[in-house]
Each structure stands twice: as C-alpha cells, then as structure tokens.
Amino acid sequence: MLTVPIRQLGEPERAAVERILDADPYAGAQIAERVAAHGLNWWRSDGRIYGYEPRRQIESIIWSGAHLVPVGATPPATAAFADLLGAEPRICSSIIGRSEAVLDLWDRLGGNWGPARDVRPHQPLLVTDRDAAVRPDPAVRLVRSGEVDQLFPAAVAMYTEEVGVSPMQDDNGRGYRRRIAELVKTKRAYARFEGDLVIFKAELAIVTRRTTQVQGVWVHPDYRGQGLGTAAMAAVVADALRRVAPTVSLYVNDYNTSARRVYANCGFISAGSFATVLF
C-alpha cells in the first residue's frame, strides 16, 4: 500500500496547481498549457497530474503522460514520485524538467525503467523579455497553410538531428506531420524560404500566459556558419513578444555552442538548467 503523501489531482486542486506553475513558469510551461486547455480532469487530457502533499498543502507536482515533467519537486517529492511511478511500467518517452529533479528521478527510476537511449544532464534554460539588439531578418515569417509540404522535410531533419531518431519510424510520420500542420494552423511556425527550400525554421511549441517556449530551431546545413541564425531568431523573438506572450524561453544542449552563441546574441539570459532523459 502506498504510504507516501501522493495523490492524483483534479479540478478541486486547480488553484494549488496553478500556484506551483506560476512559481516556475518556464519549467512548468508544458503543464500550464495543458491545464489551460483541458483542465485537470484526466479523461479530458493525455496525462495525469500527481501532487506531493506532506503537510496538507500541495508542494510539488508531476505530469505523467507521453512525457514525465516534475515542477517544484524537492528531493522528498522526487523520492515519493519515484515510489509511485516506479511500481508501474514506463509509459513516457522522456523525462524533462529542472536538472536536479529529473536526474534524481532517473537515479531512482532507472533500475525499473532503464536503459535510457540518451541522458542530457545539463541543458541551459534561457529566457528573454525584450527584442534582440540585432536587426531581425525580414525574410523570416509565419509559415502559411499551403506550405506544410515544404516545411515538413526540414522538420523531420531537425527532429532526427536533435533527438537521434527519425519521427518517420512510427506510423510513417503521420502523427508528426499532424503536429507540424497544427503549429502552422495556429500561427506558431516560422521559416525563411529560398524558393521552395526551407533554410531556417523554428516553432512556438508551448504557449502560456507567462511565456512561449521555442523549439525546433534549425538552419539548413548548407547555410550554417553564415550568421543567418541570429537574425532569424531575432525575428522570431520580436514577433512572439509582440503577438503571443510576455517572455520567450527555450532550452538548449550545453554542447551546442553555436546555438548558445546565437541565443546570447539575441539577448537570452539564464533561467537555470534543464535535463532530459530520452527512451
């Protein structure tokens, strides 16, 4: 019988969940977007939220679905979450969040859920609330609905390069294509085209009232090293701040020095460190 102070949360706990998410709007962005769209009733969403409540007040939460995302998780909370989740087969494809919590969870869950395909222990979490000091690339724009076919190969190339597996291996990429088409439809996908060729792309993968998280940043290999990425990201930041959210955030692999240089040149500053465990 589970004796740790963990329970699944629902709509009656919404205020407590939103309080924790507001305390860390960048690490909690993925959950905040889902809560805003679907609430906390598990049958309306694609995952469940569990709360750590040792003293009759919810102190930490964790999202359990396609991804496992802890927010506000102290060492006692991660130990409790691991006790709960480790008793069941793994359903998530990754663990994502603040480095300390993710790595502690993985230390506790790895024996039951391992091995991982990749562990990325330090991914700088970056944020900006102002336009870049560099001139935005005027050729970077929102992708139009009729341009999904041109964007999709670039998205597949980015995903394969970043994640290490192709999104085409499951269902021949149909689910991933639907995701890209939805980002285009909701005006979250940016690109620069040379004819029909996408030479830069980025998406606003997550949008909340506090931040929008940029993912999928990619420059065509033939155009790298030419300074294109900085001006292109400046254009994304300018439009996102004007149209979408008061801050723009992202996380990046620590070894990706060229991308980190681009983000620094665009005015992003540190908001801590993420870690990701990929299965």
Distances, alpha carbon 144 to alpha carbons 60, 189, 253, in Å: 40, 9, 29
Look at residue 41 in the predicted model and tell me its pLDDT.
Answer: 79
Does residue 2 register a pLDDT over 70?
no
Strand stretches in the chain, DSSP E: 6-8, 48-52, 60-64, 67-71, 94-98, 118-128, 141-142, 189-194, 197-207, 212-219, 248-251, 269-278
pLDDT band per the 50, 70, 90 thresholds, residue 3: low
Give residue-wise pLDDT tens across range 183-223.
Answer: 999 999 999 999 999 999 999 999 999 999 999 999 999 99
pLDDT value, residue 176: 93
Q: Give the mean pLDDT of the chain.
A: 94
pTM for the structure as a whole? 0.92
Q: Can you read off the two tokens belonging to residue 7?
A: 């329970």
